[in-house]
Amino acid sequence: MKEENELTYYEKVKDWNFDSFEIESDYLTNWNLYELLNKLATKDSKILDLGTGGGEKVLKSFPECKEILATDYSQEMINTANENLKKSGRKNITFKVMDNLKMNVPDDYFDFVVARNTPTDPKQIYKCLKDGGYLFIHGVDKFDCYALKLIFKRGQGTDSLKPISIVDYENVLEAGFKNVELIPLHVREYFKNRESFKAFLQKVPIINDFGDDKDKFGYPIEDDLLDQYIEENTYNGKIRLLRRYYGIVAQKQKKI
């Protein structure tokens, strides 16, 4: 998947709001990034959210604090985020265009950096954190939605030799972070019907991996394979998708 292709995909998607799919989530692990962030942050905290999308999560789940900078490399996502900001009435939040891999922020400045389902360069993150500051990562791992990927014989992350969680974990350690924890996050997601499940799969790059076909952004989803998955994975009338996420918490060690 080419980076340029991925940016064009996000420019077309424009937001990252899944409310319309009415997904029911059953969490098998109780680690929650937002709970942790809200617990640790104070009114004086400065928070950076990388790859913020349309700002949905920042506006809804981040704490009220001194400063939140939320960035994304897609101008379209930032436009959506600014519209959402106006409607939210929240203060001290700024959205700006920035590539996570070419970060343009002050050194030793933030108390928290959050990167949820977006690429990171832990070395650059380390530089912009204050001593004692925290990095929180949430990601989608190699075996996410695996039963679905097996039926479609393709999908995001299936070609990677090492699970993405391990690659991230190693990079975070190599960047110099301490107290690094890697937490597997298992979630059962339920969809109420075929229509909403298909619409979801057409929006997210799970089986089509950002649309390897440059012209189409996701191949059409094969109806016979979709029906096979639904037949094998319907419980109490709802379609189940097994998610494999991971969380990473790490700290920039305080200088002694």
Structure tokens given for 226: 């979709």
Asked if residues 132 and 110 have their Cβ atoms less than 8 Å apart, the reply is no
Question: Does residue 120 interact with ligand SAM by CB under 6 A?
Answer: no
Secondary structure of residue 152 in the 3-state scheme: helix
Binding mask 52-71 for ligand SAM (x = CB under 6 A): xx--xx--------------
CB of 157 to ligand SAM, least distance (A): 13
Q: Which residue has the tokens 């064009």?
A: 8
Instruction: Among 47, 48, 51, 240, indicate the residue that binds ligand SAM (CB under 6 A).
Output: 51
CB of 72 to ligand SAM, least distance (A): 5
Q: What is the 3-state secondary structure of 156-221? A: CCCCCCCCHHHHHHHHHHHCCCEEEEEEEEEEEEEECCHHHHHHHHHHCCCCCCCCCCCCCCCCCC
Instruction: Among 67, 119, 154, 192, indicate the residue that binds ligand SAM (CB under 6 A).
Output: 119
Question: Does residue 118 interact with ligand SAM by CB under 6 A?
Answer: yes
CB of 19 to ligand SAM, least distance (A): 12
Instruction: Say which DSSP state 255 is in.
Output: P
Using CB under 6 A, list all residues that contact ligand SAM: 10, 16, 51-53, 56-57, 72-74, 77, 99-101, 116-119
